[in-house]
């Protein structure tokens, strides 16, 4: 009895499986150009896109859902009427295609393509082209200039160095600026003599290669005595100025006001005299 029941159940399952829908359209009615999806169940029932291109029906794309064992195909049609889609020896579906309502496809007038509408250029668009033209022109001029300079064996950019100021002019200018500061008049006596001697020492180093900035006063006097710039009168002025400065800086002496002025005058006269000596020597060497 149990075997008979199992046999009957198997028959019922087979019959129910064969009754399942294998082919199905999501709609049987479309308008010309619309799309419809054909669903096919079972791998053994799948159809290729070439097989589905029939009776005016066009297959557009196709994909498979392996989890459900379903094949889907997107179809369309551009011919009005009933279109039979044959899917097997005995299976087929009918797709009804309707014309677009309100459109007279018979008497419709086909018009020429409208001409291209010309859009006016804006100010910034025109200005951009002007800038581009100027940039190109500047580039061309620059290339021509560079080529000409290179052919003439001239530097592309001429640098004009600042004129070299002679050491004596720089020293005299610095002394005049120091005089205008009126430092000793305001009580800055030590600072006054420090700047005064620094100006003279720097001049000796630049003009006569006497490294006075690293020498004591006695060493400076000795080096000057052995130099080409030696002159007894100049040596006396240099000695008087250095001795007064040393008295202020090291012995904390307080010279009289006229001694401050005399130290400045000695420095100016010393530089002027050595400048004359330098010019005389240059004139002799050039002969």
Tell me the average pLDDT across 260-275: 94
What is the total count of domains within the chain? 2
Residue 197 lies in a domain: yes
Residues 180 and 258 in one domain: yes
Residue 130 lies in a domain: no
Highest mean pLDDT among 41-50, 108-117, 220-229: 220-229
State yes or no: pLDDT of 5 exceeds 50: no
Residues 175 and 276 in one domain: yes
Q: Which pairs count as long-range contacts for 228-237, CB under 8 Å and 24+ apart, including other chains?
A: 228/277, 228/281, 229/274, 229/277, 229/278, 231/273, 231/274, 231/277, 233/273, 234/270, 234/273, 234/274, 237/266, 237/267, 237/269, 237/270, 237/273
Residues 87 and 187 in one domain: no
Of 68, 98, 128, the residue that ends a domain is 98
Arithmetic mean of pLDDT over the chain = 86
State yes or no: pLDDT of 284 exceeds 90: no
Residue 269 lies in a domain: yes
- CATH code at 85? 2.60.40.10
E strand or H helix that includes residue 148: helix 123-151
Tell me the average pLDDT across 48-63: 90
Structure-block tokens of residue 61: 């794309």
Residues 70 and 174 in one domain: no
* CB contact set of 236 (below 8 Å; sequence gap of 6+): none
Residues 94 and 188 in one domain: no
In angstroms, the Cα distances linking 64 to 42, 48, 58, 61, 69 are: 11, 12, 18, 11, 7
Residue 71 lies in a domain: yes
Strand arrangement of the beta sheet that strand 57-65 belongs to? 23-25, 35-41, 70-77, 57-65
Range of the domain at 46: 21-98
State yes or no: pLDDT of 205 exceeds 90: yes
Structure-block tokens of residue 282: 């240059």
Residues 177 and 259 in one domain: yes
Residues 78 and 177 in one domain: no
Residue 192 banded pLDDT, cuts 50, 70, 90: very high
Of 98, 114, 141, the residue that ends a domain is 98
- pLDDT (0 to 100) of residue 6: 45
pLDDT tens for each residue of 208-250: 999 999 999 999 999 999 999 999 999 999 999 999 999 998 8
Higher model confidence: residue 197 or residue 150?
197
Give the total residue count for the chain.
287
Residue 99 banded pLDDT, cuts 50, 70, 90: confident
Of 98, 132, 152, the residue that ends a domain is 98
Residue 28 lies in a domain: yes
pLDDT tens for each residue of 70-87: 999 999 999 888 988 888
Residue 92 lies in a domain: yes
pLDDT tens for each residue of 137-179: 999 998 998 888 888 888 878 777 778 889 999 999 999 999 9
- DSSP structure class, residue 228: T
State yes or no: pLDDT of 9 exceeds 60: no
- pLDDT (0 to 100) of residue 19: 42
DSSP assignment of 5-49 equals HHHHHHHHHHHHHHTS--EEES-SEEETT-EEEEEEESGGG---H
Residue 148 lies in a domain: no
Where are the alpha helices (H) located in 152-287, listed in sequence order? 167-181, 189-208, 217-225, 232-249, 257-286
Structure-block tokens of residue 54: 């029939």
Tracing tokens 């004139």 back to the chain, one arrives at: 283
């Amino acid at each position: 009895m149990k075997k008979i029941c199992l046999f009957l159940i198997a028959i019922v399952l087979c019959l129910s499986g064969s009754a399942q829908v294998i082919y199905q359209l999501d709609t049987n009615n479309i308008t010309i150009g619309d799309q419809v999806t054909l669903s096919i169940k079972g791998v053994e029932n799948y159809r290729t896109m070439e097989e589905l291109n029939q009776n005016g029906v066009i297959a557009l794309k196709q994909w498979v859902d392996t989890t459900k064992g379903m094949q889907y195909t997107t179809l369309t049609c551009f011919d009005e009427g009933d279109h039979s889609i044959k899917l097997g020896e005995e299976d087929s579906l009918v797709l009804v295609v309707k014309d677009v309502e309100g459109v007279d496809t018979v008497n419709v007038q086909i018009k020429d393509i409208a001409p291209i509408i010309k859009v006016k250029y804006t100010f910034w668009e025109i200005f951009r082209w002007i800038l581009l033209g100027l940039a190109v022109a500047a580039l061309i001029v620059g290339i021509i200039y560079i080529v000409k300079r290179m052919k003439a064996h001239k530097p592309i950019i001429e640098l004009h160095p600042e004129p070299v100021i002679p050491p004596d002019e720089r020293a005299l200018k610095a002394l005049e600026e120091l005089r205008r500061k009126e430092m000793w008049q305001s009580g800055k006596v030590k600072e006054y003599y420090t700047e005064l001697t620094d100006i003279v020492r720097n001049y000796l180093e630049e003009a006569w290669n006497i490294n006075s900035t690293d020498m004591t006063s006695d060493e400076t006097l000795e080096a000057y005595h052995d130099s080409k710039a030696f002159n007894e009168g100049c040596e006396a002025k240099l000695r008087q100025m250095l001795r007064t400065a040393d008295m202020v800086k090291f012995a904390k002496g307080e010279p009289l006001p006229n001694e401050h002025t005399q130290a400045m005058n000695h420095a100016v006269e010393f530089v002027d005299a050595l400048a004359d000596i330098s010019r005389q020597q240059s004139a002799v060497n050039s002969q």
